[in-house]
Each structure stands twice: as C-alpha cells, then as structure tokens.
Amino acid sequence: MTPRITLKNTNLKVFPLCLGGNVFGWSANEEESFAVLDAYVAAGGNFIDTADVYSAWKDGNKGGESETIIGKWMKSRGNRDQLVIATKVGMWDAQKGLSAGNIQSAIEGSLQRLQTDHIDLYYSHLDDASTPLYETLEKYSELISQGKIQHVAASNYSTTRLREAAHVSQTQVLTSYVAVQNRYNLLDRNDFESDAGMACDQMGLQSIPYYGLARGFLSGKYQPGSDVQSVRAGGVAEYQNDRGWTILKKVEEIARELNSSPSAISLAWLRAHGSLPIASARTIEQVNELVEIVELSPKQIKDLDLVSQ
C-alpha cells in the first residue's frame, strides 16, 4: 500500500494524491461521483477536497452540490473517520468573503451538507482584503476551540498576504495557516514559483496545488487537431499552443519510459517539487491513473524542468 504522508504543521496523515471534488454535481452526477470516490478509497486514498461554491457555475445548480454528494457518500459508506476532508469558504456568492459572521454561517452550512461534525482542513478560498486578517483568524481560532475545524489553510493568496497573516497569527496568538492551495502545474509555473511558492519554502507551509493536470490537458487526452467533448475543454484552450504541446510530448515520453500515464508523470513532477497535488476524476479509469504514485529520476525531473521553463 502507498505510504501516507503527514501534512506539514498538522497531524493529518494523507494519501499523496488529494481527490478534487469540483466535478461532483457538475460533470459527474451522484452515481458517477460515488463510483469515483469508491475507487479512490479502494486504492488507498483518504484525502478529499471540495468547497461550498462547487458547483454553482452549472446551470440549475445553486452551490453546495459537491459537499452534499460527498456527505451522502460518507454516510452511506460509514467511513468519515477514515477520511481527511477539506473544504473552503469565501468565494461562493451566497457566502461571500471572510468576515466572522460569514464564516460562522458558511461552516454550519458545510457541516450540514457534509453530514459531519468537523472539517479537517478549512480554506480561505479567496483573499478578502475588505476584512481584517485578525477578524478572520480569530473566528477560525474560535471554531478550532469548538472542534468544528482542525486546521486552516489559504487558497489564492500572495506571499505578501501570507506573511501578513502569519504576523497576525503570531502577535495575536491566533491559529495560523498551515497550507497553501494555489494554481501550479508544469504549464503554470512562474506565478506560483515566484510568489506563493517562495512563502511555502520560507515559512514551512504545505503546498497543495490545484489544476495539477492543467484542467486535464496533461492527462494526454488532448492532442493536436483533436476535438475533445468535455465541459472542461474550453478551459484547456490556453494550453493548446507550441509550448503546451512540447511539454506534453516530454511528459508522454517519460510515461512510456516508466510504463505509466501522462497524468501520473505530471503529478509526480509536482511531488518532486515538494507539493501534494489535487486532481479530479469523472471516471474510475481516470482515478486509476491519478492514484498511480511513481518516482521520477533526477534526469527526468531536470528534463521536465527545462522543457517547462
């Protein structure tokens, strides 16, 4: 069985691939979502990421659909105690921002939808400059003392704001962010590595990046001249250029060397750079690619570094 790792600054032991829940209630219906979740757990997985806003963007949805599906699944399987659940607050229009009042309302909604009494990792989904950091962190500290959340993390934050938050936590003796969830993959490197990634290194924060497969582009299912029928296909257009195809070609070359998949290679590169990636799946076949934990050689890591500069 794949060894679990302990997230920095926590007692949470997790599988080295976090399953993203953004597709649940969007491109995967409840039955398909249950199958994906079952396959992930069967492979040894225990770390599931969602958000209150998932998936409000779909016509007919209001938000909270992903949490609701995960909650139903956990109740039906009776496995909540074996899982590490992460969700987020602040981006959903119905629960916007990081004020104390909104966080209080949002956490109660998430707990109800997830059918649980606590969240293991609770993210500030989007920085809220209009709310003092002290107010946000004080509310999180209160929720931790009540046992409703275990740890807090930040998503879509800059190094400057992460440092400011850490200063408030230290000087006011409040809980502090333990992890950062920003966009990071072989195709999206510069923004993270030149900003929040440096904070992770210097402040000892755990990097848990989203879009680990660049919206699915690095899975290899997109090829020059091909037309992929997917609700996510539109978001992949930004990668379909000479640089994107060159990077994908190198990923596929290494996948052949290791008798693996492009998805597994792309996620292995993130791990080699100290991150614990998030990736989502709509089918059991996709899950099987995500949970394959491979180790790249120094040369393979260097080759991917060079081609993706």
CATH of the domain at 269: 3.20.20.100
Active-site residue flag, 54: yes
Instruction: Specify the length of the chain in residues.
Output: 309
Give the contacts of 37 (CB within 8 A, at least 6 positions apart). 19, 48, 70, 73
- Residue 250 has what pLDDT? 98
pTM, two decimal places:
0.96
Q: Give the number of other CB atoms < 10 A from CB of residue 248.
A: 25
Read off the DSSP letter of residue 182. Answer: -
Q: What is the rounded average pLDDT for all residues in the chain? A: 96
Q: Residue 232 pLDDT > 70, yes or no?
A: no
What does the pLDDT look like over 16-63, one tens digit per residue? 999 999 999 999 999 999 999 999 999 999 999 999 999 999 999 999
| pLDDT-derived band at 1, boundaries 50, 70, 90 | confident
Q: Residue 266 pLDDT > 90, yes or no?
A: yes
Q: Residue 233 pLDDT > 80, yes or no?
A: no
CA distance 265 to 294: 7
Torsion angle, alpha carbons of 20, 21, 27, 29, to 10: 140
| pLDDT-derived band at 225, boundaries 50, 70, 90 | confident
Q: Residue 239 pLDDT > 80, yes or no?
A: yes
Q: Residue 228 pLDDT > 70, yes or no?
A: no
- Residue 160 has what pLDDT? 97
- Residue 230 has what pLDDT? 67
Number of domains within the chain: 1
CA distance 68 to 26: 12
CA distance 255 to 274: 20
Tokens (6 digits) for 43 = 């492979």
> Can you tell me whether residue 69 is helix, strand or coil?
helix
Distance from the Cα of residue 86 to its chain's centroid: 9
Q: Residue 132 pLDDT > 90, yes or no?
A: yes
Catalytic option among 40, 54, 122, 239? 54
Q: Give the H/E segment covering residue 24.
A: none
Read off the DSSP letter of residue 16. Answer: S
* Domain of 153, in residue numbers: 5-307
Q: Residue 227 pLDDT > 90, yes or no?
A: no
Mean pLDDT of 112-133: 98
- Residue 164 has what pLDDT? 98
Q: What is the DSSP string of 192-244?
A: HHTTHHHHHHHHTPEE--B-TTGGGGGGT---TT-----TTGGGGGGG-SHHH
Q: What is the DSSP string of 83-149?
A: -EEEEEEB-SGGGBS--HHHHHHHHHHHHHHHT-S-EEEEEE-S--TTS-HHHHHHHHHHHHHTTSE
Per DSSP bridges, beta strands 5-6 and 177-181 are: unpaired
Tokens (6 digits) for 247 = 């990077």
